[in-house]
Amino acid sequence: MSTITIEPLFHHSRIRNATCFSGSNRFHSSSSFYAHPNNLFSSSHAQPRFFCNFKPPRPLLLRASSTDTALLDTSTSSDVSFKKTFPLKQTILEEGKIFIRLDRGKNEQHWQLTVGCDIPGNWILHWGVSYIDDVGNDWDQPPEGMIPSGSVRIKDYAIETQLKISSSSSAGDTFQEVKIDFDPKSAIAAINFVLKDEETGSWYQHKGRDFKVPLVDYLQEDGNMVGRKKGNSMWPGALGQLSNIFITKEQLDSKDEDSSMDSIEPIKEKKILEGFYEEIPIAKKVDVHNSITVSVRKCPDTEKILLSMETDILGNVVVHWGVCTDDAKNWELPSSPYPPDTVIFKDKALRTLLQPKEGGNGSQGLFTLEEGPQGFLFVLKQSEKTWLKYMGNDFYVPLSSSSISSVLPTSGLSAGQETPGKSVEESEGSLSAYTKGIISEIRSLVSISSEKSLKTKTKEAQESILQEIEKLAAEAYSMFRSSVAAPPEEAVSETEELELPVKIQSGTGTGYEIVCQGFNWESNKSGKWYMELKEKAEELSSLGFTVIWLPPPTESVSPEGYMPKDLYNLNSRYGTIDELKEIVNKFHQVGIKVLGDAVLNHRCAHYKNQNGVWNIFGGRLNWDDRAVVADDPHFQGRGNKSSGDNFHAAPNIDHSQDFVRKDIKEWLCWLRKEIGYDGWRLDFVRGFWGGYVKDYLDASEPYFAVGEYWDSLSYTYGEMDHNQDAHRQRIIDWINATSGTAGAFDVTTKGILHAALDRCEYWRLSDQKGKPPGVVGWWPSRAVTFIENHDTGSTQGHWRFPGGKEMQGYAYILTHPGTPSVFYDHIFSHCQSEIGGLISIRNRNKINCRSTIKITKAERDVYAAIIDEKVAMKIGPGHYEPHSESQKWSLAMEGRDYKVWEASG
């Protein structure tokens, strides 16, 4: 059998057209999936075998068990001089197979394709079909009768079907499969698919391409077909001799022998269908989390040191250990006796096999040591290739009283560590019971959310848990703000009063930000934009803006800045580096934070390679073609495959390279220090994995960060679908990949506002659960809402907001949760006074990114909602007045087809 390489991929997204952001695109298998370099596996086929129930056997794999907290050492806490739980994390390779089978269905007119996988996971089959007269590699959706129940349509080109545990599986079996019935007399030429594991976000392909099951035998071989003939071999099975060319055309109607294969007209009534069965090996990287707890006490009878150790790692665990007598921590052999099952290793260390715990949930050991050594050193050995250390170093356990006191914290406790004679409750006495209760509830919900994501992927469970977390976080914010002593009211400006003194997490701000996009598509033309904008700093501050987003600062091939070249050259069409520093300083003086527009996905080269391709860089970051991804044919990169979608106008940077990430982190930190930027607007983040974004934000520690994750909404026959859950889920998936360190522009909300206002269909502004239908309805603290920007509006106008209805859009985003962003062109226009009035209402009522919302009306001609029980609003030509038995409302503001009320008692 031949060798098959399976490539797990981190993202699947449609390529965004460089100049158009809406509408639907055709799907091309050759350019839509990309592999992460660290997840490429290659293995050989096992010998094929016939399976009656399509249920292959599985080897027993290493699994993390729940921690058994019973220690071998049963001493009381007062006897323990040191105790610590060390977290252990390792990545194991789980190997298995994808199984593909084609055989006859219930009758002659129906056949069945079965795709299965024997590795545990939440597997999704992402598939489509190609028709006989199609040209190229485009996917299409199959006929309605071919789609299994419970499937989800992905725009107009694919179907996603959840694999389910096989009905023939025995207890404990994890084999999953999906069956697709089809009519062999249809015009379908091939069935295409890829497999996605939603637990890890990885996509699995065949030889770097989509799997393709051809249903006609004249398709050109492109290396990714399954069920094809290999030499003259036949595979035995229940159907007899199974040929892997399973549709035979007996005649080709070709008048010209030199014509291309695409011009060949098949004779459909002559084809013969035969079955096949194929196994393709795959491997999946799985993170396993365990721990080891070590405690030290002195035996009151012998005065010897007793060190007990227990871990929840399954299987044999060998402790490779020794002692040290000074701070240099040089390994030495201790004096005997040694624990059972101990051997000496090269006169330098000891190896002791830990004993299984009762019940088999891990292992434990007891080490008796003479007084004298300062510390106990060890590493864990599971196999010849598996060694576990602590944060890259040997585990170190202090033994003497002086060494113990040197490693114990003076304030607070690290995870799993206790101070002798002092309870955890006492050490946390500075926290009120109310505060601890909120923290406990949030942690519990996060834990439940993680567990739920492993067991079920239902949107209802995720949405409910996420909303509860947001409510608790909002309560925590409110409690914290009320507990901070404020200066006299007359000495505090409105803007200052709204600032939260402590930032909960880097990149997410305080929750009260209001963003101004400080440029448009034409701002570069004067060459002095920084100085022009500087003159408007006080005005923007007086309007209530707290954050301004500046244009890309680097030298760029395009004058707008989105084709960067030398990242350290900050003399751009907007002004010089000195002028940039000056404007940043000015905005800081008026209390406004500044975001830099960081283009990290692509970079324009300085030089051509030997083939005449522009992929060699100059300037301070003089990268070569190893910094360019390998799967963009335009630029001949020697890096790894992209972890996202390629932007074909410039070389796409390979963020998997260590030197690239190091240089980008240094550049961002330099911008923070040299220029004074407070955070980032991240361009085209669909082009690279969100985990890299987390790495960059951890290094640069921004006050606020937002990513541009942009793709098309769902349409059916040109009309926007009411349900846009799949679209907002893709944005949330990216935010989640960053570990929540960045927000994202709520493109879903913008698109739905377009349809609602333009077509007078305000019912669109409530989802099936009665919540806002955009990202703001699911994860409001990470949703940056907007109605226009330099791409969609300005002179580009790629997706312009319905004309004359902009203030309805601002009445929505400036009264709702999320972080609103206002476009420069709208601020400095006839809309300024109305925008300023809405911002004032938002600030006066302390509406923030986590505010609660109750939608009270969502009908054809009117939408209305109440926010935090403080503000009521309505948009649309229809009538609405807020009513509440316990609340009186006064009209605060109104304009064309919108009104806003404030609670008045």
Return the DSSP state at 728: H
pLDDT for the residue 277:
87
Interatomic CA distance for residues 178 and 117, integer angstroms: 9
Assess contact for 671 and 554: CB atoms under 8 A: no
691 CB-near residues (< 8 Å, 6+ apart):
10, 737, 738, 739
- Does CATH number 1.10.10 belong to domain 299-398? no
Query: Whole-angstrom Cα distance, residue 173 to residue 178?
Result: 16
Per-residue confidence (pLDDT) for residue 398, from 0 to 100: 92
Rounded Cα gap, residues 200 and 39, in angstroms = 12
- Look at residue 823 in the predicted model and tell me its pLDDT: 97
Cβ within 8 Å of residue 132, ≥6 positions away: 187, 188, 189, 216, 266, 268
Domain boundaries defined on the chain: 94-218+273-281, 299-398
Q: What tokens appear for 801 in the block?
A: 């907001």
Positions in the chain short of pLDDT 70: 1-78, 107-108, 134-138, 168-173, 201, 208, 217-225, 227-273, 401-506, 905
pLDDT of residue 446: 56
My answer on whether omega of the bond before 143 falls inside 30° of 0, hence cis, is no
Residues 6+ apart with CB under 8 A from 78: 420, 421
Q: In the numeric block, which tokens belong to residue 445?
A: 């919900």
Residue 606, judged by CB atoms within 10 A of its CB (0-12, 13-18, 19+), counts as: middle
- Judge contact between 99 and 46, C-beta under 8 A: no
From the list 411, 413, 319, 401, the residue with the least C-alpha distance to 365 is: 319
- Strand 898-903 relative to strand 871-875, pairing: antiparallel
Which residue among 68, 513, 631, 708 is the active-site one? 708
d(CA 218, CA 259): 13
Catalytic residue, chosen from 279, 683, 746, 761, is 683
Do the beta carbons of residue 777 and residue 771 sit within 8 Å? yes
Q: What is the pLDDT of residue 233?
A: 32
- Helix and strand tally (H, E) in the chain? 17, 48
pLDDT value for 260: 37
For residues 730-763, b (16+ Cβ closer than 10 Å) or e, as one string?
A: bbbebbebbebbbbbbbbbbbbbbbbbbeeebbe
Closest CA to 37 of 616, 621, 604, 658: 658
**Where does residue 215 rank: exposed (0-12), middle (13-18), buried (19+ CB within 10 A)?**
buried
Query: DSSP string of 22-60?
Result: SS----BHHHHEE--GGG-EEEEPPPP---SSS------
Q: Is the Cβ–Cβ distance between 598 and 665 less than 8 Å?
A: no
- Please tell me the predicted confidence (pLDDT) of residue 321: 94
Is 210 part of the annotated catalytic residue set? no
Tokens, residue 174: 């994890």
Q: Which of 171, 179, 267, 177 is nearest to 216 (CA)?
A: 267
C-alpha torsion 418→424→428→431, nearest 10: 150
Enclosing H/E stretch for 832: helix 832-844
Lookup result for tokens 């009309």: 719
Other C-beta atoms closer than 10 Å to the C-beta of 876 total: 24
Does pTM surpass 0.85? no
Instruction: Reduce the DSSP state of residue 695 to 3 states and report it.
Output: helix
Residue 837 is given by DSSP the state H
Copy the structure tokens of residue 478: 């409110």
* DSSP output for 420-447: TT--HHHHTTTS-HHHHHHHHHHHHHHH
Non-local (6+) Cβ contacts of 338 within 8 A are: 350, 352
CA distance 680 to 694: 12
Supply the pLDDT for residue 41.
Answer: 31
pLDDT value, residue 259: 37
Would residue 68 show up in a list of annotated catalytic residues for this protein? no
Handedness of CA 489, 493, 496, 498 (dihedral sign): positive
For domain 94-218+273-281, which CATH number applies: 2.60.40, 1.10.3210, 3.30.420, 1.10.3470?
Answer: 2.60.40
Question: Do 94-218+273-281 and 299-398 come out as alike in CATH topology?
Answer: yes
